[in-house]
Structure 1
Amino acid sequence: MTRYAAFLRGVNVGGVNLKMADVAKVFAEAGFDDVKTVLASGNVLLDSASGATSVRRTAEAALREAFGYDAWVLVYGLDELREIVQRYPFERDVPEHHSYVTFVSDDDLLQELAALATEAGDTAAQGDGVLYWQVARAATLDSAIGKTMGKKRYKSSTTTRNLRTLDKVLR
Structure 2
Amino acid sequence: MASPKKKKDAPLTRYVALLRGVNVNGITIKSVDLKALFADELGFGAVRTVLASGNVLFDTDAPDAAALRTRIEQALRQRFGYEAWIVLLTQKQVADMATGYPFARIDDERHPYIVFGSDDAMLDEIIEKAGTVDAKVEQLVRGQGVLYWQCPRGESLETPVAKLLAKTRYKSSTTTRNLRTVEKLITD
Normalising by the residue count of structure 2, what TM-score does the alignment of the two structures yield? Answer: 0.87
| Cα shift at 1:96 | 2.3
Contiguous gaps of at least 5 residues in structure 1 = none
**Conservation of the 8 A alpha-carbon contact between 2:114 and 2:177:** yes
Find the structure with the greater CA-based Rg: 2
Deviates more, 1:58-67 or 1:24-33: 24-33
| Cα shift at 1:119 | 2.5
Aligned residue among 36, 51, 70 for 1:25: 36
Q: How does 1:1-12 map to 2 (within 5 A)?
A: 1-12=12-23
- Residues in 1 aligned to 2:180 and 2:65: alpha-carbon distance in whole angstroms: 23
Contiguous gaps of at least 5 residues in structure 2 = 1-11
| Cα shift at 1:168 | 0.9
1:119 match: secondary structure: coil
Percent of aligned pairs with the same amino acid: 46
Partner of 2:144: 128
1:89 match: secondary structure: coil
- Residues in 1 aligned to 2:20 and 2:121: alpha-carbon distance in whole angstroms: 19
**Conservation of the 8 A alpha-carbon contact between 1:48 and 1:55:** no
| Cα shift at 1:94 | 1.1
Aligned residue among 124, 135, 158 for 1:142: 158
1:148-169 deviations in whole A, cap 9, x for unaligned?
A: 2222211110000000000111
Deviates more, 1:47-56 or 1:125-134: 47-56
| Cα shift at 1:71 | 0.4
Partner of 1:165: 181
Aligned residue type for 1:13: V
1:44 match: secondary structure: strand
Partner of 1:75: 88
Regions of 4+ moved over 2 Å: 115-122
How many equivalent residue pairs? 171
| Cα shift at 1:116 | 3.1
Partner of 2:100: 87
1:38-80 deviations in whole A, cap 9, x for unaligned?
A: 0111000001111322221111011100010000011111111
Partner of 1:111: 124
Partner of 1:47: 59
- Residues in 1 aligned to 2:84 and 2:117: alpha-carbon distance in whole angstroms: 16
| Cα shift at 1:118 | 3.7
**Conservation of the 8 A alpha-carbon contact between 2:45 and 2:58:** yes
1:134 match: secondary structure: strand
- Residues in 2 aligned to 1:129 and 1:144: alpha-carbon distance in whole angstroms: 21
- Residues in 1 aligned to 2:48 and 2:25: alpha-carbon distance in whole angstroms: 23
**2:64 is aligned with 1:61:** no
